[in-house]
Structure 1
């Protein structure tokens, strides 16, 4: 995209990433930099957001944050970087939050995703 032509290589579990078209809102946008963010990097960020911040986001959000982190490394301290958390994770239960799917794509599966649930039985008789 930064060279004036669209090039989508490979595949991603992030829907809409690497599209073969330029939408109207980007048609004349000056693009300074672009990074290739792998699925493994994106999903690790998404899983950290859920575990550490309580934010259930989708893979596109992970891609955006990874890009912002790359820009921060490049620019160094003293800059403000803003990105968009663009997709909520509830839409991705069968993929991003599915350990079998992740394994089928050779992506990391966080320990907490397969940990047994420890939820008290609130339906039990209190007098028992």
Structure 2
């Protein structure tokens, strides 16, 4: 049996990344993650992430690139994390989350991340640093 993919979204906006505090299930309630959810049959991972971020946060996004690695969530479920760009809306915790925070590069360790999300923090810090660098005209 093939693993089902769970997509997580590293939503970066104005040099900060969105962290979401889980409200359920009980085993992970109170811990922080990059929001997302399960890809449905026939859906690409990009489509799944954009749909999940809209359902969970009420925002429109564009999926950008997949980060290296994948992590087992539980039997039959594997997490893959993607970067995403905020196109429209102000994120609100509509489903599965009790709080949202925009974190800068120096604040990434200020919340209690779920283990698999914690593993991508060095890459997220690199992306935030790159986003903060001023661009020089050609």
* Larger helix percent: 1
Give me the TM-score of the superposition, normalised by structure 1. Answer: 0.28
Higher RCO, 1 or 2 (CA under 8 Å, sep at least 6)? 2
Which is higher, the Rg of structure 1 or of structure 2? 1
Identify, as 1 or 2, the structure richer in strand.
2
